[in-house]
Structure formats: C-alpha cells, structure tokens
Amino acid sequence: MATDLAGLIALFQRRAFGEVVAAGKVLAAQYPGEPLIPVIVGAAHTECAAWAEAEAAFREALALAPDSIDAHYNLALTLHRQGRLAAAERAYHEALRLAPAHLHAANNLAVVLNDLERHAEAHQILTQVLAVQPEFVDSLVNLGITLKHLAQPQPARAALERALARDPDCAEGWYNLGLVLADLQMLEAAVEAFGKAASLAPEHRAARANLGQALANLGRLEDAAAVYEHSLTLAPDDAQTWTGLGLVRLDRGDPAGAIAAWERALACDPACHRALGLKRFNQLCLADWSSTDVIPPPPVGRLPRGTIGSPLSFIALVDDPGLHRRIAEISAKDTFPVLAAEPFGPPPASSDRLRIAYLSADFNNHPVAQLITGVFAAHDRARVEIFALAHSRFPRDEMTDRIAASVDHFIDIGAMSDRAVAELARHHGFDVAIDLTGHTRGSRTGALAHRLAPVQIAHLGYPGTIGAPFIDYLIADVHVIPPTEREHYAERLLLMPGSFQPNDDQRPLSSEPLTRAQFGLPETGFVFCCFNNTYKITAAEWDIWMVLLGKVPGSVLWLSRPAAVAEANFRREAAARGIDPARLVFADRVDYDVHLARHGLADLFLDTFNYNAHTTASDALWGGLPVLTLAGRGFAARVASSVLHAADLPELVTATHAEYGALALALAREPARLGILKARLAAARRTCALFDTGRYTRNLEAGLALAAQRARAGLPPDDLVIPDCGLTGPN
C-alpha cells in the first residue's frame, strides 16, 4: 500500500484503482489537510464510473482548498459524464476563472455548450483555444462538431480533416467527418469515414450504426446487414442496432425478420419508441393485429438521438393529435439543425411575380404528385413563378415529365447538400418555399432550416404538424383542423376555403367498358370497397366491416391486394368473425385511368379511422363512388371529412363507430338513397370545390400572397383565413 503521495500516484498510473481508494483513506488520516489525496481518489472513482463517490471526493478536496484547479476541473468532468450539464458548466467556469489558460477545461466547456445547444458560444471558445494551440486535436474535432451543428458543413469538414492530418488514428474525428460527409450527400466517402472510426474503436456503437445507415442509403443492403450483425456480436443488447437491422431486413423484403429485430430492440430497451413505432406500424402493414402494446407518451427531457422514429408510424397507430405533435417536435429536433435565421437581402430585380418553390421526393407517379400536378399547370404565370425542387429516390417517369413541363424551373437537388440548396434558393430569391414531403421517406425538410424563403410552408405529403420552428405555416381547412384541435399544431395555419387538398381535374378516367367479372366481383350483390393501404386498416374497422357483410347477404368487401402474408391474415380475421373468406376480393394493380374508372363498379367506399383515405378518397369520388368516413381528432383522421365537405357530401361524415356502421348498413339496404348520393356526386364533379383545380389554385395563390405580404412588412406569421375566389367554370 502507498505510504505517501508519490506511491498513491504510482498506484493510479498502474490503474490499480481499488488500491488507490484504500490507500487514500489511510493517507487522508495521516495528512488531513492535503487536497491532492481526495483528488486522486476521486479520479480513481471516476475511472470506475463511481460517480457519486468521485463527486464526494472532489468536493472534499474543494473544502480543503477552494481554489484547487484540479478539483474544479475533475469535478466538472465527473458532472459532465453524468449528463449534469448545467452543473458541469459552472465547474468548468470555476476552473477557467482560476486558470484562464487551461485549454482542456475550455475545450470541454465547449463540449458542454454544444450539448446544451449553445453552439455559437461553443464556437467562440474553440476559436480562442485554437488561436493559442492551433493543432489541438480535440478542439479541432470539437470545432468540426460545432460547425456541423451550425450547418456549416464545408468548414466543419476542413476542421476535422485538419484534426485527422494531425492524428490519423482519432476515431472520433473519423466518425464526425462521416456525419459531415453524409450531410454533404457524399455517402461513399461517409462510408469510408465511418468504417475507419469503427475499425479504430470497435466499441464505438454510433460509428457502426451510422456505417450501417450509410450503406443502407446507398442500397448496399447486404453490407449494411453485415455491419449491424457484426455490431450485435459486440453489443447484443444495443436497441438502436437491432432497430437499424430491422429497417435493413424490411428493405430486403423480410418484414417478419424486421419485426423480430424490433421486438429484440424492445426487449433491450422497452422505452425505444422508434422500435415500437416501426414494429406496430409494420404489423399493420401485414394485417397483424395481435400486438396489444400501449403507445406511451415519450419521456420528458433530453432523449438520445434516434430514440424517436418516424412520426408517420404513430399517426396510423393512434388518433391522438397531442401525441402526434409531441413526437413530431422531438423528431424535428432530433433530425433537423437548429439555426439562427439569416436575413434576406433585397429581392432580385425581376421579382414582379411571386416566386414559389415546391420541394418534394415524390415528383413521379405518387399520390402527392397525382393530387398537385394540376395546380402546377393552373398557376397564373402572370402572378407567380414556379420552381419544382426534386429529390426523388426513383427515376423520372411520365408524371415527372408532366410536372417538369408544367413549371417554370425543374431542378434536381437530390445530390446537393442542404446548404447548397439554401444557396440556390437565395440566388433565385424565393418568396415562398412549400415542403411537400415533411416527416415521410426521402424528406429534405432539413434544407428549410437554412431558410429557403421568408415564408416556409408544410403541405400535403405529411398529414400533421412538422413541429419544426422554421416551418411558418401549415395548409389546412376548418374541417381537417377544427378549432377544438388547434393547439396540437405548431405552425400557423393557412385555412383554405373548401378543402386543403388539391386535385387534378385532368386526371385520366378510362372510357373503356368495365365489368365486375373482369375484376373478380360478383355480378350481383352489394360491393363494399376500401382501397386504402393495408396499414390504415385496424381491428376496429374490420369488426364493423365484418358485421356489415354478415347483415348484407351476397355482399363482398373489395380491397387492394396486399402482401401475401397480409392477405392470408385478412382471410383469417374474416373467418374468425364468422365470414367466409371468399367474400373478400382483392384488386390487383392496373393502369391509373382504369383504376379510377373501376371505382364505379363498387357501391360504397368504407373509410378507415386513425388514418383516413386521402388521395384514395378523391380517387373514389372522381370515379363516382361515395365515401363513408368517420371524423376523428387528428389531421390524418379528418382528411376524408374535409374532402367530403368540399365535394358537397357532408352527410357521409359520421362521428362514432355506431353511426358509421348504421349509415353503411342503411345505404346498403336502401338503393334509392344511395342512388341519389351517386347522382349528386356525378353532378358535383363539375361544380364542387374539390375538383375545381383553377379555383383551388387561385385561392392558394391568394393565401401565399397574404403570407408573403406579412413577411415583407416584418409581421410574424399568423393564422390566415383565405377568401374563396368562387367557381372558375366547368372543368
């Protein structure tokens, strides 16, 4: 056992931490006034992650020597490692007050400030440190991290490359360089950087996780799976790795394997909302309603990155707009940079027209494009100039070509960084930027954090609040967001007359004669129809639908054909409720014009609850098929209500399960009543607000102009009610 300070230090250097603690007690009794003894003992406790004991030792040292730099610095380290950021900040400041040139304290203070999201302050401190010691590797790495937080990827890259030139074996430098390269859309280079970090530090879980993600984003699914599986041999209890492996399995066409991976993730960490959301959502995709997991609210406070998954999953799982907002806000904070708004310069000289930029991952044969393409063509080019900023994962198709021909400028931003997109936007002087993707796959919503325009709007692609402070407005209407639910939306609202949903009055409708027989339907008997995606259908709808089939002899339920597993599950669930599975008819994919026209072969469209028919509702109405819906609480649960009001069929909106089931049964039993509704719908197609694309576009332009005028006047966004320009004429 050590008999003096030198011996105690020698024990510490040999990493004999247990002996340090034991010897420290003896020496403290022999030298009761020596502050260095508890400092060394505290450092030994720190190395063993015995945080409470370490903190007590450092505070004992400070009681003996209040101006001990070592005690303040080590106390700060201990507090920092526990995540007690405010206390750590104070302790680092005390160390720096006593020793202003303590570069390690200053560097670590910058780390704390970054953790507290005070990135500008961190940048100032790191600049001062590097002015004294330009090759301080830790500070160069932290500068790169800070600049990434400040959305300056190229300077961040330069700082990290400087650090790695000085120390090529710095795993943290390679890891953060990978993050920056991924932000710059340089995925191959990011894979190399993450790979180096993982090889230098096999215990670096985040490096391996991001390596797997980057490989998956490149479509290298086998390589991504191998990375995740290797990671699990090193850390089999890592919930995030299991979650990532599940996503790769899903993309490889193995949904059952994906669900098994998410179940393993939840076994490792029951609070992993991301795994829970993915598991439950993909069970819905397979018509598997066996899960009884309750969706808990996310915990309050700071959450580890990646804890919350796609907000879209939870929209399908539960109709709770308060929960939807909470998850969206956490996801936005987790995903998008937090930036100070940069001032806009004077508008370009040729700014007599309002410059509107639409961003989308779905400028191809996708429901979003099917709805909004007509608006692009209907925009008044004397008043507005239209930019389509495309970032699709899919190749161009006929719809892409139609969109490109309908706008003034079609620009592919898929390979551009968010910063580069912002520079493009500033060059063109956009007045309004409209994000059509939001919290859905392929999103580039993070680009709007750089402020692409004085007015930034979320629309159409994601049915709910984005929850990001840089989104000023959400396009809505009084039916999809009633006043009673207003608090659940972070943005200000642009309230459209009619429906928030655009429509294309040039959508093709096949004129070829169609028969029930060619689609496997009975020649006689009532046809209930629901062409919604499988994930929208839950046991709640199914119970009512099976009762309807039981009470309407000869009736069938016509569904979109899902995956084979889901089809088998649907048939099993029908049999379990006493319904012959043969009364389920599944529709195969056909050309869009034929799909729209075949709606006319059915009698009534039955909507889903948590997540209504959206484009699917308009498709049905355009094809002449009445839609019966139930208005819930959230945006996604009220879209069909909005659509039906704009189609002048508000009586098809119900408020309870009982009312929904009763009205469906009444319409099935009263053909004359249903015939009147179909006749009204046929007439309304040429007069109603829902299908008047010109009217919708004029109203939208008026709303965008109002929002732009407020911004130019220096006024903050506010809820705006857009007046109706009225009927624009026959379609």
Q: What is the pLDDT of residue 348?
A: 56
> Does pLDDT of 278 surpass 70?
yes
Residue 2: per-residue pLDDT: 65
Q: Are residues 51 and 127 in the same domain?
A: yes
| Domain co-membership, 10 together with 123 | yes
User: Is residue 67 included in any domain, yes or no?
Assistant: yes
Amino acid 189: pLDDT? 97
Residues 531 and 680 in one domain: yes
Average pLDDT of every residue of the chain: 93
Tell me: do 484 and 615 sit in the same domain.
Answer: no
CATH code at position 58: 1.25.40.10
> Any idea what the CATH number is for the domain that residue 322 is in?
1.25.40
Which of the listed residues 146, 181, 201 is the one where a domain comes to its end?
201
User: For the sheet containing 584-587, what is the strand order?
Assistant: 584-587, 556-560, 527-530, 604-606, 627-630, 653-654
State the residue range of the domain holding 422.
354-495
How far apart CA 181 and CA 200 sit, in angstroms, is 19
Of 179, 201, 223, at which residue does a domain stop? 201
Q: Give the distance, in angstroms, between the CA of residue 35 and the centroid of all CA atoms in the same chain.
A: 51
Same domain, 381 and 285: no
CATH of the domain at 473: 3.40.50.11380
Q: Does 378 share its domain with 333? A: no
Chosen domain end from 286, 305, 339: 339
pLDDT digits 0-9 by tens, 194-220: 999 999 999 999 999 999 999 999 999
Asked if residue 220 belongs to a domain, the reply is: no
Cα-Cα end-to-end distance for the chain: 94
Could you give the CA distance from residue 287 to residue 292 in angstroms, rounded to a whole number?
14
Same domain, 187 and 257: no
Instruction: Count the domains in the chain.
Output: 4
- The mean-pLDDT minimum among 32-41, 657-666, 715-724 falls in 32-41
- Of the pLDDT bands very low, low, confident and very high (cuts 50, 70, 90), residue 730 is very low
Indicate whether 706 pLDDT > 70: yes
Q: 97 pLDDT band (50/70/90 cuts)?
A: very high
Residue 294 reports pLDDT greater than 80: no
Both 680 and 565 in a single domain? Answer: yes
Q: Is residue 509 part of a domain?
A: no
Distance CA 431, CA 385 (A): 10
Q: Where are the beta strands (DSSP E) in 361-437?
A: 384-390, 409-412, 432-435
The answer to whether residues 248 and 186 belong to one domain is no
Residue 349 has pLDDT above 60, yes or no: no
**Considering the domain boundaries, does residue 708 fall inside one?**
no
- Residue 233 pLDDT grade (very low, low, confident, very high; cuts 50, 70, 90): very high
Residue 700 lies in a domain: no
Residue 340 has pLDDT above 80, yes or no: no
- As a whole-number percent, the residues of the chain with pLDDT over 70 amount to 96
Q: Looking at the domain assignment, is residue 225 inside a domain?
A: no
> What is the tens place of the pLDDT at every residue in 583-618?
999 999 999 999 999 999 999 999 999 999 999 999
For residues 320 and 373, state if they share a domain.
no
Same-domain check for residues 19 and 137: yes
Give the pLDDT mean for 647-660: 98
Question: In this structure, are 581 and 486 located in the same domain?
Answer: no
What is the per-residue pLDDT for 347? 57
- Would 505 be classed as within a structural domain? no
The reply to whether 511 falls in a domain is no
Query: Can you give the pLDDT at residue 7?
Result: 84
pLDDT score recorded for residue 336: 85
Whether the predicted pLDDT of 151 surpasses 90: no
In sequence order, the β-bridge partners of residue 389 are: 359, 411
Say if residue 731's pLDDT is above 50.
no
pLDDT tens digit sequence for 441-498: 889 999 999 999 999 999 999 999 999 999 999 999 999 999 999 999 999 999 999 9
Q: What is the CATH number of the domain that holds 550?
A: 3.40.50.2000
C-beta atoms surrounding 415 within 10 Å: 11
